[in-house]
């Protein structure tokens, strides 16, 4: 996912550690593997970094783009069916990939759910 250059001006929610699991890729089911991930929300995409330090490092390196999800056309919803964990948000991308985001702290995950959902909904209106 590109466009790291002027990242600072595009950030909607600053980085925070959330638990992330990718459960399908382009419609193909994947084995679930929860990992703690540094997540950053920009105006059109959600970026994933292994660690907070990598955010700055990746943006400094020309040609180096972070792992992420294009939110245009994405559907963001709470799910109780895809995991036994509490506070799980499912993101389904327009290309048919599915991600779960989770945090034990409800206010934390609520903030991310609301911001990601409104970002995706605004892009889809556009």
Nearer of residues 65 and 83 to ligand I3S, judged by Cβ:
83
State the nearest-atom distance from the C-beta of 88 to ligand I3S, in Å.
7
Q: Is 54 in the site for ligand I3S (CB under 6 A)?
A: no
Among 27, 84, 107, 126, binds ligand I3S (CB under 6 A): 84
Nearer of residues 28 and 31 to ligand I3S, judged by Cβ:
31
Question: Per the structure block, which two tokens stand in for 2?
Answer: 């590109």
Q: Report CA torsion sign: 76, 103, 51, 40.
A: positive
Question: Per the structure block, which two tokens stand in for 22?
Answer: 């990718």
- Quote the distance between the C-alpha of residue 59 and its chain's center: 17
Strand, helix or coil for residue 80: coil
Nearer of residues 40 and 88 to ligand I3S, judged by Cβ:
88
State the nearest-atom distance from the C-beta of 85 to ligand I3S, in Å.
5
Ranges assigned E (strand) in 26-66: 28-29, 35-42, 45-49
Nearer of residues 21 and 76 to ligand I3S, judged by Cβ:
21
Question: Per the structure block, which two tokens stand in for 88?
Answer: 């799980």
Strand, helix or coil for residue 33: coil
Q: Is 58 in the site for ligand I3S (CB under 6 A)?
A: no
* Interacting residues toward ligand I3S by CB under 6 A: 31-32, 34, 83-85
């Amino acid at each position: 996912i590109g466009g790291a250059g002027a990242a600072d001006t595009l950030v909607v929610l600053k980085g925070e550690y959330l638990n992330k699991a990718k459960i399908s890729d382009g419609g193909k089911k994947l084995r679930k593997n929860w990992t703690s991930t540094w997540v950053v929300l920009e105006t059109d995409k959600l970026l994933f970094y292994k660690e907070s330090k990598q955010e700055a490092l990746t943006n400094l390196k020309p040609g180096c783009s972070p792992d992420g999800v294009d939110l245009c056309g994405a559907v963001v919803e709470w799910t109780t069916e895809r995991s036994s964990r509490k506070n799980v948000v499912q993101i389904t991308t327009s290309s048919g990939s599915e991600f779960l985001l989770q945090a034990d702290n409800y206010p934390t995950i609520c903030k991310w759910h609301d911001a990601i959902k409104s970002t995706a909904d605004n892009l889809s209106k556009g």
